[in-house]
Chain A
Amino acid sequence: MSAHDSHGPGHDHDHEHDHGHDHDHGAGGGGHPPGHRHPHQPDIEDRPPTHYMLMTQAVGDLLIAKGIVTADELRRTLESIDATSPAAGARLVARAWLDPAFKGRMLADVNAAAAELGIDAGGIPIRAVENTPALHNLIVCTLCSCYPRLLIGLPPDWYKARAYRSRAIREPRAVLREFGTSIPDAVELRVHDSTADLRYMVLPMRPAGSESMGEGELASLVTRDSMIGVSVPRVA
């Protein structure tokens, strides 16, 4: 919460959820190349609807029939969910790498920095935590699945699942090794448990070999996983 979840000062509880997931992981896929799409899932898509699928259909139908939402509002909301992806977060990171003043503003207020780039990060305060040669940051939500959805899309399954939520806080280095990420013992590993009313994204370090790259090319190095902290950007 998710799930989730909102409640900035004076703000409403919609924001964590206005954000979606793009099937095309674009710049942010967890190890997938840009443009990668997951395969058709016949087991899910071709079976009769489950109890909860029918519940979902019925609740939406009733809300529309009662005039509480319109079919158009529901459609537009689904479109906005489809429109979000890790590409937004990647743009922020690439700009921060190139523009120290922007980085300063981003570390002070991600939502405002995103607005500078025309990105709506919603009303939940998002904090960027910066990796340095002495510090590596990792994000988890042990209580649910809090995640900066507007900047990174809907969370991956593992982020919401028991193994990651249980272990990332207690044995983060072992979890990182499962993702192929090794953090030297001399580096402080800092885990952020995002359980309350803030959301977190990692501002990764600009990788060696990217010195001549422009903003778009840099953004393509910034994966979703590197903004959660389970991986680091690399020049291929």
Chain B
Amino acid sequence: MSTADTAAERLLERASDVIRRLLDHPLLWLAPALLALAVFQLYPMAEAILMSLTNESLIRPSFEFVGLEQYVRLASDPQFWEMIRITAIYAFFSVVLHVLLGLVLALAIDYGVRRGLRGHLTTRVSVLLAWIVPGIIIGLVWKVMLVESQFGAVNHFLGVLGIGPVPFRSDPTLALISTIIAGTWRGTAFTMIMIYGGLQRVPQRLYEAARVDGAGRWDRFRHVTLPQLKPVLFITTVLVTIYALNTFDLIFALTGGGPGRATQVLALFMYQEAFQDYALGRGAAIAVVMLVANLLLTGVYLYAFDVGDEI
């Protein structure tokens, strides 16, 4: 009995020793995460790059490698440049509105907290509320808001004023403006919180020093707050630009890229090429273009951290 026991004990000890040694190596801890990343991020990305070098299609069974042909065709396609233009307009105005609105709200909430004004919490919660609504539903909420009949809130009130109905989603320019507003409605929470966080890190002694020097409120904002916020503003801008460039669900639900192709940003263009025109290779080439844009902006983001460290 005792020999069997000690054998079992020894086995157990050996096992726990092996476990301990395994646990002392980082690989075991990292393996599941790295595996998930490799299979569900790296593999699809590699697949996208490979696909972009073929003429693969959803309706043809076979395909061959065509080298860089997809890219060459893309570059000579006026439609592609039109999408780039629309994406740039969408991203530019979204980012400007996000940052401006976020900055104003963050300052107002910070001011309210310090002055003990009421309603700063309600304001913050309201802005954040918009941010957690699922993208598809945001598209639909704004679709309902902008319906071109009395059912749409905006046209309802314009009607009261004797204006309209305004074709928010069927006029190309207005449709693009509508997507920008809906996007800003969702994303401002992010910039507001980031900038508010930045405001909390501004050393109070700087304000005191400025006040001693006789600086008024505007001067203090201009010469203390803004320079101190610069790193945060920069990082926030880069992040919002990345989000804006990759917007999909909201526009997909709000306008579907229309009217015509007036709101077809890159992600929707990619989707349409790949799944509605069945040109997987071409869609993949657009995906790679987006990937490169993402990587470039990430580079800027990392650079921003270095800048932030220096300050």
Indicate, yes or no, whether A interacts with B: no
Instruction: Give me the interface of B with A, judged by CB distance under 8 Å.
Output: none
